[in-house]
Amino acid sequence: MSDNPFFSPSTLVYELPPFAEIREEHYRPAFEQGMAEQLAEVAAIAADPEPPTFDNTVVALERSGAVLRRVSVAFFNQDASDTTPGVQALDAEISPLLAAHSDAVHLDPALFARLDALHARRHELGLDAESLRLLERRHTAFVRAGARLDADGQRRLREINTRLAADGAAFRKNTHDASLAGAVAVDSATALDGLPAAAVANAAENARALGRGGQWVLSLKNFSNQTELAHLTDRALRERLLTASLRRGLDTNGPLAARMAALRAERAVLLGHPTHASYVVADETAGTVEAVGAMLGRLVAPAVANAEREAADLAAAAAADGVAELAAHDWAFYAEKVRAERYDVDTAALRPYFELERVLRDGVFFAANLAYGLSFTERPELTAYHPDARVFEVFDADGSALGLFIGDFFARESKRGGAWMNELVPQSRLSGTRPVVVNNLNIAHPAAGEPALLSWDEVRTLFHEFGHALHGLLSDVHYPSFAGTEVPRDFVEFPSQVNEMWMVRPEVLANYARHHVTGEPLDAGVVERMLAAENYGQGFRTVEYLAAALLDWAWHTLPAGAEVVEDAEAFEARVLAEAGVAVAAVPPRYRTGYFNHVFSNGYSAGYYAYIWSEVLDAETVRWFGSNGRPVRESGELFRAELLSRGGSRDALECVRAVLGRGPEIGPLLARRGLE
């Protein structure tokens, strides 16, 4: 296909993928050619008659696979953001081939021999710090991928990797299908009593988009406790909605998860580790399973105690309504009632102050200008991959062009749940590229002509995901392997969590939190009460998070050779009870049936990363507010020492360069009320 847009670099600004030209039939030939080209490039490096040098081996490897990179980022972005049956079918076919391709590169003995020889004399090569780190990280990646295994070990490793890739693709598809099938429909708007008017209108628009006119449809978000539970007055409907959420995927993904956990355990032993968790954490900032276990264990007792105190309050409120026993589907509803009474906060009444466009431009973008001097210009003439996705050009403080930001904010049937950041083009001085990054959210699409009004949590998510975008946009590295978010998994959430602080900074909040009709600013006292109300709910939020993190940890600390779990639901119940987080009214934030993070999206044995990163986040937020520097000066230091460095320097070295010391857990405990 000579017209295949992936066969040559994009001619658009910033090498933005030419989405207007990309068709589904382009993907397979581009994957095939991309893999073939990279294997040929690797073979040439391995067969080079010249002795190995950093340039002819490490840099050559860094440059290889250009076609494969271009097609991969576009394809997996579409699979997540705007999938089709054809894309899903190709994902199932291509993922095992990509796993086999990765093995072909990492298990090439001649290529590894050259890397190994360079690594052995790395301190004699006169390399700059980033180049030395690239050599060390490349060598580590090959060793961790099995380069030192014997032939039998490598054969079995290839089999396992291929099977896991196929299972991961199946898990993604099953989750997508189960979430669609689990959507809850009602035949009358009155059934949705308690929901804000905008949410009722969104449910009608959702039904229309799904071809279910005359109904109102509540689609499932990717997490357990659906946001509507806080407002629906119909208790039976609340139960129906939460049950649909918690039960999805168990029948199809439960067995898949068990098989994947067993295969990961077997692979870990092949690679010299007792469990998959041990294998994963060895290359993260945590370092050991003991460190992760100690941190999670320290949080359980105070978090559960907090949740039990909250449950007593909620049970009393529920009893006043004649509810004899507080159930999981009651928690959010009565928590909202207690917050309204105790803190005089009605979260539904806050939505008119959080109109998407204003939050984006006068909140998220404004904060980026305040801290880093960035400015944003929408480029409607640039075509993204879906009509909802908007392209903005990003400029640095001196007016120089920095990169592109694509915002894709609305939910749709073709998009997976949740929120995330993708990097379509990495920044790199080696390749001469500047960053193109994407943020995806799942905000309900408003009816035609109506504004998109956000919940407090959706505002937080917008700021959070833009923190990932900043990590990509502000990258300043030589090698693409280190660009932006190419950092340890238990560090990657840190910059995004830090960026959440701007949503409540007085100068930022005052700039965006205004009534979308009257322009009236949100009263500062309301915000203070809202933050107090959030602290009140920390027990619930910490327990639901810990339950999910401990489920992930339990699946991935299973030893190799253990009997494969036959009943995922029974396994969950046992794990939560043994961990001390089996609070009946607080289900895990994710259950096995829809835990995409750990079974298909790269967070296996890594969901602990959110709270591990929050230790760094809490310290850094405190530093921003108390270091005595102006905001812009603090932002520039954070940018120079951490955001711009990507993976080119040890992650905790970056933290120490900002804070002046290592992190401590105290600020996190105070934030979550766990002291």
Domain end residue (candidates: 535, 554, 586): 535
Nearest 10 degrees: Cα torsion 251, 254, 256, 260: 180
CA–CA distance, 251 with 177 (Å, rounded to integer)? 12
- pLDDT for 1: 56
Question: Do 364 and 492 sit in the same domain of this protein?
Answer: yes
Phi and psi of 447, rounded to 5°?
-65, 155
Q: Are 232 and 241 in contact (CB under 8 A)?
A: yes
CB of 392 within 8 A of CB of 404?
yes
Assess whether 202 and 93 both reside in one domain.
no
Q: How far apart are CA 559 and CA 567, in angstroms?
A: 17
The one-character DSSP state at 428 is: B
Q: Locate tokens 């978000």: which residue?
A: 221
3-state DSSP assignment of residue 402: strand
* Residues 186 and 129 occupy one common structural domain: no
What is the length of the chain?
Answer: 675
CA-based nearest residue to 16, from 391, 420, 399 = 391
CA separation for the pair 635, 356 (Å, rounded):
25
The list of the chain residues with pLDDT below 70 reads 1
Identify any residues that bridge with 406 across adjacent strands, giving them in sequence order: 391, 438
Q: Note whether 294 and 314 are within 8 A (CB).
A: no
Helix/strand/coil for 525: helix
Q: Which H/E stretch holds residue 543? A: helix 538-556
Decide: helix, strand or coil at residue 254.
Answer: helix
Residue 9 identity (one-letter amino acid): P
Identify whether 447 is part of a domain.
Answer: yes
CATH number of the structural domain spanning residue 418 = 1.10.1370.40
Residue type, 77: N
| Residue at token pair 């090498």 | 15
521 with 387, same domain: the answer is yes
Choose the final residue of a domain: 223, 247, 271: 247
Assigned domain for 363 exists:
yes
**130 and 192, same structural domain?**
no
Does residue 170 sit within a domain?
no
pLDDT number for residue 533: 85
| 133 and 228 co-located in one domain | no
How many alpha carbons lie under 13 Å from residue 436 in its C-beta half-sphere? 20
pLDDT at 524: 85
pLDDT for the residue 630: 95
Report if residue 541 sits inside a domain: no
Secondary structure of 300-360 in HEC code, one letter for each residue? HHHHHHHHHHHHHHHHHHHHHCCCCCCCHHHHHHHHHHHHHHHHCCCHHHHHHHCEHHHHH
604, with CB counted inside 10 A (0-12, 13-18, 19+), is buried
Q: How far apart are CA 340 and CA 331, in angstroms?
A: 14
Taking the alpha carbons of 435, 436, 439, 440 in that order, is the dihedral positive or negative? negative
167 C-beta neighbours (distance < 10 Å), count: 21
Rounded CA separation 627/448 (Å): 47
Tokens of 34: 């991309």
Residue 429 has a CB neighbour count (10 Å cut-off) of 14
Q: CB–CB of 95/166 below 8 Å?
A: yes
For residues 125 and 199, membership in a common domain is answered with no
Residue 128: burial class (beta carbons within 10 Å; 0-12, 13-18, 19+)? exposed
Strand partners, 401: 395
CB 358 within 8 A of CB 514: yes
How many H-runs (helices) and E-runs (strands) does the chain carry?
Answer: 27, 7
CA gap 484, 477 in Å, rounded: 8
Residue 345: predicted pLDDT? 86
Asked whether residue 396 is domain-assigned, the answer is: yes
Domain shared by 107 and 220, yes or no: no
Quick check: is 668 in a domain?
A: no
Full residue range of the structural domain in which residue 22 is found: 13-148
Q: Could you tell me if 144 and 194 lie in one domain?
A: no
Structure tokens of 644? 């711009």
**Per-residue pLDDT, 407:** 98
Q: Which residue has the tokens 């909250």?
A: 310
3-state DSSP: the chain helix, strand, coil percent, rounded to 5? Answer: 60, 5, 30
Question: Rounded distance, CA 24 to CA 166, Å?
Answer: 20
Contacts with 623 (C-beta within 8 Å, 6 or more apart), sequence order: 634, 658, 659
Catalytic member of 465, 486, 500, 544: 465
Bridge-based pairing state of the strands 401-410 and 420-425 = unpaired
Do 371 and 520 reside in the same domain of the chain? yes
pLDDT digits (tens, 9 = 90+) for 354-397: 999 999 999 999 999 999 999 999 999 999 999 999 999 999 99
In a domain, 515, yes or no: yes
- pLDDT of 672 reads 87
Is 450 tagged catalytic? no
Total domains in the fold of the chain: 3
pLDDT at 601: 87
Q: Which DSSP string corresponds to 73-110?
A: HHHHHHHHHS--HHHHHHHHHHHHHHHHHHHHHHT-HH
Q: Which of 487, 504, 535 is the last residue of a domain?
A: 535
What global pTM score does this model have?
0.93
Q: E strand or H helix at 438, and its extent?
A: strand 436-443
Of 572, 600, 551, 587, nearest in space to 174 by CA: 600
574 phi and psi angles, rounded to 5 deg: -65, -45
Do 17 and 142 reside in the same domain of the chain?
A: yes
Beta-carbon count within 10 A of 49 CB = 4
The answer to whether residue 100 is domain-embedded is yes
Tokens of 643: 């955001």
Q: Which two tokens stand for residue 132?
A: 């030395």
Token match 């997996």: residue? 76
Q: Residue 497 and residue 620: Cα distance in Å, rounded?
A: 10
Pair (209, 131) in one structural domain: no
DSSP per-residue letters across 619-644: HHHHHHHHSSS-HHHHHHHHHHHTGG
